[in-house]
Structure 1
Amino acid sequence: MGSTGPMGMKDAEFQQLRDFIYTLSGIYISDNRKYLLENRLSNRIKALNLKNYGEYLYYLKYDKGRRQELPRLFEVITTNETSFYRNPPQLAVFQNIVLPRILERLRKSGKRSLHLWSAGCSTGEEPYTLAIILFEALQAEITNWDVRITANDLSEAVLRAARQGIYSEYALRTTPKDIVGKYFIQEDGRFRVRQELKSLVTFGQLNLNDRGQIKMIPRSEIIFCRNVIIYFDDAMKKRVISEFYDNLVPDGVLFIGHSESLHHVSRTLRPQHHPGSIVYSKAL
């Protein structure tokens, strides 16, 4: 009897794989996502010529090829659907309310440096969008500022794409046309991010389950971590939000995904309600 792929994932295999993934990354895969995990890992099992999910787990733990396989595992379990100017109402709150207030406070204090952290940057659309908004806000004045965006993700593959900064028209589907013309160079039907945007962003691999790595991130005025904490269980959410709180300067602001909430997760960050978006701020 010929078989095109591995046998179905046993419950015990699912639990062991889920625990392994959680210990490594803090990403929690709930019972109702077993089929999804089974589906997505079947191609990895075929590619490695393994018979079943138990063999795959053994490979991840003990095989000499495990270091090359772990990044592929993370790519498979995290989805990377993103675009420029994703969730425009939230970005409007950032551009029109939060950013002007923070820039005004920095100007008054005589400080001309600003750090943003894009935690879970995927293929780069979010940090480059933030860079565009900063250019639009500061205009020619940006040359007098030290503006830096730290952009991190668990997956090296998406970071490689982000560093290249070349995108399809589909990735720009929610981006205003004048912005596309101003900040992208069109070549062969693709769109390349201009160098002045790239110069603001530093990409690096980061596991939000690794406190040591997080401590290396410079203190931030603004953190974007959208559609990331949905993958975490409550304990991991609390841990990560606590790290974000420590990283933010007083009066700093956290943006999370519009369908996400810090209800029951954090009492230290105060929600501020705006049309189309809730933002969380650290008290002065």
Structure 2
Amino acid sequence: MSSLFSKTISLRKELKISELEFTQLRDFIYDQAGIFIASNRKYLLENRLANRLKELNLKDFGEYYYYLQYDSGRKTELNKLFEVITTNETSFYRNPPQLKVFETKVLPAVLDELRKKRSKRLRIWSAGCSTGEEPYTLAMIISEVLGSELSSWNIKITANDLSERVLRSARRGEYTEYTLRTTPKEVVRKYFDNDGKIYKVKPSLKQMISFGQINLSDRVQVKRVERSEIVFCRNVIIYFDDPMKKKVINAFYDNLVPGGHLIIGHSESLHNITRAFKPVHHPGAIIYQKLE
């Protein structure tokens, strides 16, 4: 019994991250994804990566750092790393006051502006889409606002995330009752097919959305995204330090058409990041508009 106990203690010691290992991995993650992990969150890296070390049969975080740089499986492992360091907590109709402003103010104004230009081509970018709840919610709102006019519009929601695992889930479009807990019941009935305990997004919504992996710190990848009338990037920039925030917000600015709208998390702000956007105040939400 004492031998087993000592092995357990030994294993725990092996999985402790040193200051050097933490610095190496933190800097590597920042270089790869722009995600900054502060020194007081060392425990987070240690806890989340412990299972990766066990699975790869590596004895310490130094070996893992070496693996990420030189092993033949490093590309696959990089995706695994992205999965464990990003938090993917989301739900349908998240932050209703913000979505209400999108539904009643932003979207109708954008649609009217496009109609004036005799255009029926709408592009929205959902950056950091996680398991798909946000882009599907946007597709539902667009469907409700356009109603019978929907079929005459060319609509595309580009939905991106760093994690390929959450994108696979998003593409399936299958959710549980718990995931739909904040979704109005009439919306669930209208836009989902119920298969026992699983709710499947209707094909008409799926065809409006294009899912794909993107690293927001990669300028080349970001520039490939079609120019948008509206960009959603909610609860993502909180993971970045100030230089990375500026880089990402500048990329959104470049992507948006003149007068386009940027919607970030309700607890996030562009204060001290950029003055290129005009903050438009609504009850329950601030929408940032690209100056003409």
TM-score (norm 1): 0.98
Within the candidate set 98, 110, 115, 1:107 is matched to 115
Q: What letter is aligned with 2:87?
A: T
Instruction: Give 1:11 shift.
Output: 1.1
Aligned length: 284
Structure 2: distance between partners of 1:231 and 1:122: 14
Give 1:144-159 correspondences, 5 Å limit.
Answer: 144-159=152-167
Task: Report the counterpart of residue 2 of structure 1 in structure 2.
Answer: 7
Structure 2: distance between partners of 1:273 and 1:58: 48
Instruction: Give 1:175 shift.
Output: 0.6
Task: Report the counterpart of residue 3 of structure 2 in structure 1.
Answer: none
Structure 1: distance between partners of 2:179 and 2:115: 34
CA deviation profile, 1:134-154 (whole Å, cap 9, x unmatched): 000001101111011000011
Structure 2: distance between partners of 1:67 and 1:98: 40
Give 1:1-284 correspondences, 5 Å limit.
Answer: 1-3=6-8, 4-5=11-12, 6-284=14-292
Instruction: Give 1:273 shift.
Output: 1.1
Give 3-state SS (helix, strand or coil) of 1:149's partner.
strand
User: What percent identity do the matched residue pairs reach?
Assistant: 62
Contact 2:15 2:60 in 1 (8 A): yes
Instruction: Give 1:202 shift.
Output: 0.3
Structure 1: distance between partners of 2:263 and 2:225: 17
Contact 2:278 2:290 in 1 (8 A): yes
Instruction: Give 1:270 shift.
Output: 1.1
Instruction: Give 1:263 shift.
Output: 0.5
Contact 2:125 2:228 in 1 (8 A): yes
Question: Which 5+ residue runs of structure 2 have no aligned equivalent?
Answer: 1-5
Contact 2:15 2:46 in 1 (8 A): no
Q: What letter is aligned with 2:132?
A: G
Question: Which of 1 and 2 has greater Rg?
Answer: 2
Structure 1: distance between partners of 2:190 and 2:15: 52
Give 3-state SS (helix, strand or coil) of 2:266's partner.
coil
Structure 1: distance between partners of 2:280 and 2:238: 20
Question: Which 5+ residue runs of structure 1 have no aligned equivalent?
Answer: none
Instruction: Give 1:7 shift.
Output: 3.0
CA deviation profile, 1:196-229 (whole Å, cap 9, x unmatched): 0000000011000111111111110000000111
Give 3-state SS (helix, strand or coil) of 1:196's partner.
helix
Q: What letter is aligned with 1:2?
A: K
Structure 1: distance between partners of 2:191 and 2:217: 34
CA deviation profile, 1:161-190 (whole Å, cap 9, x unmatched): 000000011111111100000000010211
Q: What letter is aligned with 1:38?
A: E
Instruction: Give 1:8 shift.
Output: 1.1
CA deviation profile, 1:223-244 (whole Å, cap 9, x unmatched): 0000111111100100110010
TM-score (norm 2): 0.96
